[in-house]
Amino acid sequence: MELVAFLGNDKDNWGQLSGLVNKAGWDKIIFVKNKEAENFPAENIETINVDGSKPLLDLKKDIVDKLKGRISEFEVALSIASGTGKEHMALISALLSVPVGIRLVVYTKNGVEFIN
């Protein structure tokens, strides 16, 4: 399964993403990254830079355009632990428009867990 995650400016939530990246054997990892966010310290991650200050519908269109052709499965694991509500809405809407199914994923003390 492929992992798609949003990487925002909120570095205090990056531990969640680090756990997901390092504790599961993903086929591919794609981070949709706010252009203002620092680089995430990990290898083998495809990064899509977006401008989180854009209006929601423009942000969604930008994400759709940049995601098309990068996802090869019918369903992806999605982490929205980092980022803002607007960024999350744009990413979820973009994924559904690609179209691809989503399974919300979180890293807990029990490991990687799907929550839907």
Q: Which residue type, as a one-letter code, is found at position 25? A: G
pLDDT 10s digits, 50-92: 999 999 999 999 999 999 999 999 999 999 999 999 999 999 9
DSSP 23: S
Contact between 6 and 31 under an 8 Å Cβ cutoff? The reply is yes
State the Cα–Cα distance between residues 108 and 97, nearest whole angstrom: 29
State the Cα–Cα distance between residues 86 and 63, nearest whole angstrom: 13
Mean pLDDT, all residues of the chain: 92
Task: Give the bridge partners for 105, in sequence order.
Answer: 114
State the Cα–Cα distance between residues 52 and 86, nearest whole angstrom: 8
Per-residue confidence (pLDDT) for residue 57, from 0 to 100: 97
What is the model's pTM? 0.92
Q: What is the CATH number of domain 2-114?
A: 3.40.50.10770
Cα of 21 vs its chain's centroid, Å: 11
